[in-house]
Amino acid sequence: MKPVKVEEAAPGPAPAGQADLVTELGPLLSAEAEAEAQAAGMDPADIEQEVWVRLLERGPARPQEPARWLRGAVRAEARRARRRARREVPCREVPHREDAYGTPPGARTVPEEELLDRETGLVLRTAVARLPGRCPELIRALLSPRDLTYREIAGELGISQGSLGPIRSRCLGCLRRMLAAEVAAPGPWGREP
């Protein structure tokens, strides 16, 4: 195996033929990309960039019929984009209520946030179901999407409105203790144990 000298491996300036080709084909490429972009659902600049990359991949060899090669490359790139668009499946948007963090309804979230919200909701609902006495009913009523008032909650549960606050406080304290036991407390300086 022959050792490679640094001077041989270093890329030099672009050959004069390619620089002339860029100047010569630039306007034609812009026009072709503009014509194909709409049908392909792409930005014309993206098509132009992909075609220039294809040209550079060919190496220093200049196409025999540059204009014909360029038109074919633009069409091939547009076909590739249409195939890619047919294969892609859009992510389904899940409508959600305003969550505990104050995210307004209709706000878009990334899939990871949606997954974390669902997991947090599942942990919360599971913990609420294990609460003693009337606490599960009370907490579900407080978390209801109907946004019930204290008077409506007291009427539904058959308890006086004045005792709703103290019961709610005891239930939330019990829920807090249950969740704290399930989630490891951070170590010193916020480190995970």
Q: What are the tens digits of pLDDT across the range 148-184?
A: 888 999 999 998 888 888 899 999 988 888 887 766 5
The DSSP code sequence of 60-122 is TPPPSSHHHHHHHHHHHHHHHHHHHHHH--PPPP------TT-PPTT----HHHHHHHHHHHH
Q: Which DSSP category does 183 fall into?
A: S
Q: Which of 11-20, 68-77, 119-128 has the highest mean predicted lDDT (pLDDT)?
A: 68-77
Predicted confidence (pLDDT) at residue 8 exceeds the cutoff of 50 = no
- Contact present, 150 and 161 (Cβ < 8 Å): yes
Share of the chain above pLDDT 70, in %: 73
Half-sphere exposure of 93 (CA within 13 A, CB side): 8
Whether 16 has a pLDDT exceeding 60, the answer reads no
Q: Is 0.85 surpassed by the pTM of this model?
A: no
Question: Residue 138: CB partners within 8 Å, gap ≥ 6?
Answer: 153, 157, 164, 167, 168, 171
Q: What is the DSSP letter of 135?
A: H
pLDDT of residue 184: 57
Give CATH for domain 111-188: 1.10.10.10
Read off the pLDDT band of 101 (50, 70, 90). Answer: low
